[in-house]
Amino acid sequence: MPVIRLALAQMNTVVGGFAQNVETLGRFRTQAAAAGADLVLSPELALTGYPPEDLLLKEGFIAATGLALEELALDLNLPPLLVGTVVAEGAYGVKLVPSSDGRDLPLTHRADSRAGHIANALVAISERGIEAVATKRLLPNYDVFDELRYFHPGLGAHTIVNVAGVAVGLLICEDVWTSQGPAAKLAAQGATLLVVANASPFARGRRDEREAMLRERALETSCPIAYVNLVGGQDELVFDGQSVVVNEVGDVIARAGAFSEEMLVCEIEARASEVGTPIDTLYARDESRTKAMHVNHVADPLSDVEEIYQALVMGTRDYLRKNGFRSAILGLSGGIDSSLVATIAVDAVGARAVRGFAMPSRYSSDHSVSDAVELAARLDIELTTLPIEPAHHALGGILANVLDSEPSGLTDENLQSRIRGVLLMAISNATGAIVLTTGNKSEMATGYSTLYGDSAGGFAVIKDVPKTLVYELCRYRNEVAAGDGDPEPIPLAVLVKAPSAELRPDQFDDQSLPPYDELDPLLELYVEGDATAEELIERGHDPALVLRIARLVDMSEYKRRQMPPGVRISKKAFGRDRRMPITNAFRPDTE
């Protein structure tokens, strides 16, 4: 049987950054040439960056995509490239499902829209230019995906190209997930190797799901499958890479690492076939140059907590880098959340680019400041102390003229938090540094945060991380440091003390919330599992606890709408995943 040497370009794209993406694709293609690759496979929408969202509604964006594709096609004497991009109907013979077939149509195709029909495509390029185009057939419209808003599925026969005597069937992401779907049709048409371009966002457990699915599809089609995935952060989403190749019985024969760019080179044995458009080029392997090339490397999978930590680091790094922020600031309270965010930030952009601010109030304990000082010393970041008591006293006096007394209770607690937010945002304005907020998912879910206070900032690093997982991530990071012989970044005192906002005397979180080990599992069921309060009670959970948590979550939707973006690490994060109405009469006590 023929053997094809395939290069999977696990690349980090920039949405709308055509020049950067063309350069990155060229770099991978040149590396693939040196590795003697017969074919280079890029991720889904690698040319545009993913997801481009409503940029796809702009005619100028589609035109710019076409120009970038033409630029790629000018590269000569390099291996053929399969590039993920957008293609308009009619270009290169592309036919799409028409508006009159009765399907629900994307907003792009309304009568008043100026945009034309477009497809999510995989384009085959050789030295002769554009050889073939595959269009995505199954358009996901769930979780974070909105592809029916933008794309039409392709029509006609599925696309097969002949490379080095192997019939290579072209698929895009969702097309490979469905049993008896496009993958099976390609195999029936004569494909002997399936390649899949993907932009599959990271979520806990997603790698195992992908590889289990690929095993099912390989057994169904009797074809080896090469699955390249995007890597990098884009707003809330993080793409983990972990591109993988399985043989015809679903065994993993190559796997790229997680959360880093990589060219995975794999030699794949596949049945010979004459089916498909030939895209062989004049490029020939120089075996003398490629004998030492390590192929079919299988990277070890990361543990669950290691994957999550790396996702948070990459999501933070890319948000800052791609949006032009050179530094970050945050409030350091000596608590567990700010300690984790500071550590992630240092791992993401380096200690010199991170600055902490301790902002004690009249209620702050001595250990809050000392723990913040110790953390900053271990992370080697600059820490500045800004006591907020003068501002607290002054604003309290101003409010007393309106309220007839000094502010107290929740009003006074929130006032302190908002003073801190004002200071950080002012420093951000003056320095250009982005403010990292430190609230976690448990707090976001229950509304245990202050609007325009601790929620004020540009990026919420751990907004999708429950409190119990915060502790787990801190312990993991300390273990990594200890294993490397380095000082543990997070002081033991931070890990063992009871969590508190310290906005009033003797305040602790469990005075306002259930214990986190009880809260977090029910939040996961209610928020990520979409269970109703009634369903949770029927499953045997404590009715009073369930109703309390459900009310807290439901009443806090208006707050969550005003939170900054943050890294998504679960299968349902607040924001683009979970879109609940703010005005909502469906309450647990009325079910």
Mean pLDDT for 109-119 is 56
Round to whole Å and give the CA distance between 512 and 413: 13
Min mean pLDDT across 62-66, 113-117, 188-192, 552-556 is at 113-117
Residue 116 banded pLDDT, cuts 50, 70, 90: low
Q: What is the pLDDT of residues 288-329, one digit of tens each?
A: 545 446 788 999 999 999 999 999 999 999 999 999 999 999
Torsions phi, psi for 135 (to 5 deg): -115, 145
Place of tokens 């404590």: 542
More confident of the two residues 31 and 587: 31
Chain region(s) in the chain for CATH 3.40.50.620:
306-510
Place of tokens 């965010």: 341
More confident of the two residues 453 and 355: 355
Strands (E), 16-104: 39-41, 81-88
Q: What is the CATH topology of the domain spanning 306-510? A: Rossmann fold (3.40.50)
Give ∠ CA 74-69-117 in degrees, rounded to 5: 150
Length of the chain: 591
Contact between residue 452 and residue 421 where contact means Cβ atoms under 8 Å apart: yes
- DSSP-based three-state secondary structure for 317: helix
pLDDT of residue 100: 47
Residue 436 banded pLDDT, cuts 50, 70, 90: very high
pLDDT of residue 591: 46
pLDDT of residue 574: 87
Is the pLDDT confidence value at 101 over 60? Answer: no
Is the pLDDT confidence value at 583 over 90? Answer: no
Averaged pLDDT score across all residues of the chain:
90
Round to whole Å and give the CA distance between 8 and 561: 38
Contact between residue 202 and residue 238 where contact means Cβ atoms under 8 Å apart: yes
Q: What is the pLDDT of residues 144-154, one digit of tens each?
A: 888 989 999 98
Say which of 44, 307, 374, 528 is annotated catalytic.
44
Mean pLDDT for 103-118 is 50
Q: What is the CATH topology of the domain spanning 3-302? A: Nitrilase/N-carbamoyl-D-aminoacid amidohydrolase (3.60.110)
Q: What is the pTM of this model?
A: 0.92
pLDDT of residue 280: 55
List C-alpha distances in Å: 473 to 272, 337, 368, 531: 49, 10, 20, 27
Chain region(s) in the chain for CATH 3.60.110.10:
3-302
pLDDT of residue 109: 43
Contact between residue 23 and residue 64 where contact means Cβ atoms under 8 Å apart: no
Round to whole Å and give the CA distance between 64 and 68: 6
Mean pLDDT for 348-360 is 96
Residue 277 banded pLDDT, cuts 50, 70, 90: confident
Q: What is the pLDDT of residues 125-144, one digit of tens each?
A: 998 889 999 999 999 988 88
Residue 90 banded pLDDT, cuts 50, 70, 90: confident
Say which of 131, 147, 173, 413 is annotated catalytic.
173
Q: What is the pLDDT of residues 418-430, one digit of tens each?
A: 999 999 999 999 9
Active-site residue, 236 included: no
pLDDT of residue 82: 97
Give Cβ neighbours of residue 434 (< 8 Å, ≥ 6 apart).
320, 323, 325, 327, 328, 329, 428, 457, 458, 459
Residue 282 banded pLDDT, cuts 50, 70, 90: very low
Is the pLDDT confidence value at 461 over 70? Answer: yes
pLDDT of residue 473: 97
Q: What is the pLDDT of residues 518-566, one digit of tens each?
A: 999 999 999 999 999 999 999 999 999 999 999 999 999 999 999 999 9
- DSSP-based three-state secondary structure for 358: strand
Active-site residue, 266 included: no
pLDDT of residue 110: 39
Mean pLDDT for 211-230 is 97
pLDDT of residue 186: 95
DSSP 188: H
Widest CA span in the chain = 88
Say which of 89, 127, 131, 136 is annotated catalytic.
136
Active-site residue, 44 included: yes
